[in-house]
Each structure stands twice: as structure tokens, then as C-alpha cells.
Amino acid sequence: MGLAPEGGEGGGGLTGYIVHHLTHNTITVAGDAGFHLDSWAIALGLGLLACLWLWLYARKATSGVPGKGQAFVELVVEFVDSQVKDTFHGDRRFIAPLALTIFVWVVFMNAMDLLPLDLPSATIAAVAGEQAAHHTFLRVVPTADVNTTFALSLTVFLLIIFYSIKVKGGWGFTKELFTAPFHAHGVLGKIVLAVPNLFLNLVEYLSKPVSLGMRLFGNMYAGELVFMLIAGLFMSWVTFLPGVLFQSVWAIFHILIILLQAFIFMVLTVVYLSMAHEHH
């Protein structure tokens, strides 16, 4: 959520304000490659915080009447487990915890979009001064960074390949790439259809991480950008109250997007892993 526009590296006014808030805190690694330090650090911190939150309630869970916190955690766990149970019909001992981890972690990362947009700058200004705040970049929504969402989706992709080979075997997985979805009975027919089958299977496999990563990134990036535009359009004291109203309305609506995108990412992960267990 935005507070008040400020000048940025791209100039003053709304343009400079948006450019400043869309710039990552980047360090250079491996030659000229840029590494988004803010996305990595905040995502790591939120992941550890999510694990700590779940662990603390699991540690003090009781069989009696649960408190509000324990009841909420149990509700989340049961909700995720029911989704996995409806979608995945194999051994859920790894899949269910994976789905819970993805859902809670992505919700935590998405929820950073509800923080006041200028809070990082205000904090840096209070600690190090206005000049430091002006030249220090910090984006606090890791899922609004395509690198974060693709890192998540590529991890899911590797799990898909792993389970495909584990269930079907190395030869079975390779054979399926060339013999499905189009089946042929004769040797000549199998040879003719091998290339189209391989092409379609590669497109199917590669489209899964791309769709996972881009869907989450696109929605969170757009939501972050809307907060910036609202803050920039209502930048004067005269329009401050309408700006607060619009920001609040968008924030309430954005809560649905935050939860929905985490749910979609989790469900699609389970669906893709379920498909990896199936034979064509």
C-alpha cells in the first residue's frame, strides 16, 4: 500500500516514484550477472518464519480443546490435506507436506504486498537518513520478482521429472516421450510418430514451470503496480483521503488474489505430480 510519491532514479513525480519502487537491490555475482539480494533475503526470511510458525504450533498442540492459533493452523493443514487427497491418490507422506509448505510460504511472500509501499524507504530514512533512502532500493514482495517464481516452478519441474523416472523407470520415461500421446502399432508408425510425440511431450513438460512461474509473477507484479499507481495519482494533500479509500478497497480485493494465487500454485503442483505418477 502506498503513502506518498517521492523522486526516484527515473526522475521526479510519478515516473520516478514507480521506477524507484520497481528497482531491486542488486549485487553482482559470477562476472556481470545480477543477483536480486532483496528478493532472496526476504523470501528466505519468510520461509524460515513460516516454518517456525508451523513448528511452534505443532510443538504445543494439545488433544483437548485447541486455542485460536492452534485451531487456525489445524484448519489450514486440514484444508491443504483435503485438497491433496482429492487430487493425488498415491502415497501422500511427501506430497502433503510439500503442498502445505508451498501454500504457506507463497501466502507469506504474497502478503508482503499489503505492507505500506513506502515503509522500507521510511525505515531506511529514519535509520540512515533521507539521502540513503533515496538511493537504496528494496522490493519487499519476492513473488513480484520473476526470478523467485521461476525458482519455485523449476523446483516443481525437477520433482515432476524425478517422480516420472521413479514411477516409470528411466527406460519407461524415455519410451513414453516417443510413444505418447499418439500410439502406433507397427514399427514404421512408431518411427513416424516419434518426433511429433517427443515435440508435444517437451512442450507439455516445459509449459508447466513457465505457466506456474508466470501466473504467480504476473498477478503479484500487477497488484504491486496498481498500489503504486493509486499512490501516485492521489499524491496531494487534497486527494489524500480518497487515496486512502482506494488503497484500502484495492488491498481488501488484493487479499483474495494473495490467497487465490497461493492456492492455484499449490493445487497445480499437486496435479502435475499426480500426472507424473500416471502411465499413458
Q: What is the sign of the dihedral through the CA atoms of 267, 141, 227 and 27?
A: negative
Angle subtended at Cα 161 by Cα 195 and Cα 210, rounded to the nearest 5 degrees: 80
- How many CB atoms neighbour CB 182 within 10 A? 13
Pairing assessment for the beta strands 33-36 and 26-29 based on DSSP bridges: antiparallel
Gap between the Cα atoms of 234 and 229, Å rounded:
9
Angle subtended at Cα 24 by Cα 36 and Cα 38, rounded to the nearest 5 degrees: 50
DSSP state of 36: E
- Which helix or strand (DSSP H or E) is residue 57 part of? helix 37-59
Note the Cα 139 to chain centre separation in Å: 15
Can you name the residues that pair with 8 across neighbouring β-strands?
Answer: 11
Q: DSSP string of 217-270? A: HHHHHHHHHHHHHHHHHT-SSTTHHHHHHHHHHHHHHHHHHHHHHHHHHHHHHH
Q: Determine contact, residues 262/152, Cβ cutoff 8 Å.
A: no
Length of the chain: 280
E strands in the chain? 26-29, 33-36
Catalytic residues: 211, 215, 219
DSSP state of 143: G
Q: Determine contact, residues 124/137, Cβ cutoff 8 Å.
A: no
CA atoms within 13 A on the CB side of 103: 24
